[in-house]
A and B are shown apart, each in its own frame.
Chain A
Amino acid sequence: MPIDTRAPLLAAPEHEDLRRALRRFLTSAASVTRARAHAEGEEFDRAVWLRLADELGVTGLGIPEEFGGVGFGLTEQAVVLEELGRELYGGPYLASVVLGAAALLAAGDRAAQEKLLPGIAAGETVATLAAAGVDGEWRVGGPTGVVAREREGGWVLDGSCTHVPDATVADVLLVLADTEQGRGLFVLPAGSPGLSVADLSALDQTRRFSRVELRGAAAECAGTPGDGDRVLAAVLDRAAVALGAEQLGGAARCLELAVEYAKVRHQFGEPIGRFQAIKHLCADMYLAVESSRSAVMFASRALDEETAEAGAAASLTKAWCSDAFLQCAGDAMQIHGGIGYTWECDVQLYFKRAQSSKHLFGGPAHHRDTLAARLGL
Chain B
Amino acid sequence: MTDTMQYGDDAAEEFRGSVREWITENAPPELTGVFDWRTREIPGYRVEQIVEAKRHPAHVEWERRCVEGGFVCPLWPVAAGGRGWNRVQKAIFEEELHAAGVPRIDRGMGEFLVGPTIVARGTAEQQARLLPPIISGQHRYCQGFSEPEYGSDLAGLQTRGAVDGDELVVTGQKIWTSGAVDANMIFLLCRTDPAAAKHRGLTFAVAEFGPHNGFDVRPIRQMSGAYDFAEEFISGARTPLSNVIGGLGEGWSVAMTTLGLERDFNLPTLSLDFLHEFGRMADRVRESGRNSDPVVRQTLARAWSHVAIMRMFAKRLLADEEGTADMVSSTKLFWSEYHRWVSTEDLDLDGAAGMLRPAGDGYPTTPIQDSFLAARAATIYAGTSQIQRNIIAERVLGLPR
Interface residues, chain A, CB within 8 Å of chain B?
Answer: 1-3, 5-10, 12-15, 72, 75-76, 255, 259, 262-263, 270-271, 273-274, 276, 278-280, 282-284, 286-287, 290-291, 294-295, 297-298, 309, 312-313, 315-316, 319-320, 365, 367-369, 371-372, 375-377
Contacts and interface: CB of A to CB of B under 8 A. Distances in A.
Contact of A7 (B8, B333, B334, B390): B8
B377 interface: no
A298 B312 contact: yes
Contact of A312 (B304, B390, B393, B397): B304
B294 interface: yes
A6 B307 CA distance: 16
B282 A377 contact: yes
A132 B401 CA distance: 49
B286 interface: yes
| Most chain B C-beta atoms within 10 Å of own C-beta, residue among A3, A255, A365, A371 | A3
Given A291-B334, A371-B301, A376-B282, 16 more contacts: A3-B311, A9-B5, A9-B312, A15-B1, A271-B399, A273-B400, A279-B389, A279-B394, A282-B393, A283-B389, A286-B397, A290-B313, A298-B312, A316-B305, A316-B308, A320-B305
Contacts of B398: 259, 263
Contacts of B286: 376-377
Contacts of A295: 305, 308-309, 312
Given A9-B319, A372-B300, A375-B301, A286 B330 contact: yes
Contacts of A369: 294, 297-298, 301
Interface string B1-34: 1111101110000000000000000000000000
B315 A5 contact: yes
B237 interface: no
18 contacts: A8-B3, A9-B8, A9-B312, A12-B1, A259-B397, A262-B399, A273-B400, A280-B389, A282-B399, A284-B389, A286-B396, A295-B309, A309-B308, A312-B308, A369-B301, A371-B301, A375-B300, A377-B282
Contacts of B109: none
B187 to A, nearest CB: 30
A273 B392 CA distance: 12
A138 to B, nearest CB: 19
Interface in B80-131: none
A279 B401 CA distance: 10
A211 B275 CA distance: 44
Contacts of A75: 1
Closest 5 CB pairs of A and B: A279-B393, A294-B312, A368-B301, A283-B389, A372-B297
B397 A283 contact: yes
B330 A278 contact: no
Interface in B143-181: none
Contacts of A315: 301
B330 A287 contact: yes
B389 A271 contact: no
B208 to A, nearest CB: 41
Contacts of B294: 369
Contacts of A6: 7-8
B307 to A, nearest CB: 7
Interface in B271-316: 275, 282, 285-286, 291, 294, 297-298, 300-302, 304-305, 307-309, 311-316
Contacts of A8: 3, 5, 7-9
A186 to B, nearest CB: 34
A259 B399 contact: yes
A10 B397 contact: no
A282 B320 CA distance: 23
Interface string B328-368: 00100110000000000000000000000000000000000
Given A9-B7, A12-B3, A377 B300 contact: yes
B386 interface: yes
A303 to B, nearest CB: 14
Nearest to B307: A3
B379 interface: no
A12 B400 contact: no
B390 A5 contact: no
A72 B2 CA distance: 12
B98 to A, nearest CB: 11
Contact of B309 (A7, A13, A320): A320
Given A290-B327, A369-B294, A3 B308 contact: yes
A5 B311 contact: yes
A290 B332 CA distance: 13
Contacts of B319: 9-10
Contacts of B394: 279
B388 interface: yes
A95 B286 CA distance: 39
Contacts of A2: 275
A367 B301 CA distance: 9
Contacts of A319: 301, 305
Nearest to A289: B330
Contacts of A3: 275, 307-308, 311
Contacts of B300: 372, 375, 377
Contacts of A76: 1
A187 B277 CA distance: 48
Contact of A287 (B5, B314, B316, B333): B333
B3 A368 contact: no
A297 B312 CA distance: 8
A372 B399 CA distance: 39
A290 B330 contact: yes
A60 B33 CA distance: 54
B153 to A, nearest CB: 14
Contact of B399 (A9, A12, A274, A284): A274
Nearest to A274: B400
A12 B390 contact: no
A319 B401 CA distance: 34
Contacts of B393: 273, 278-280, 282-283, 286
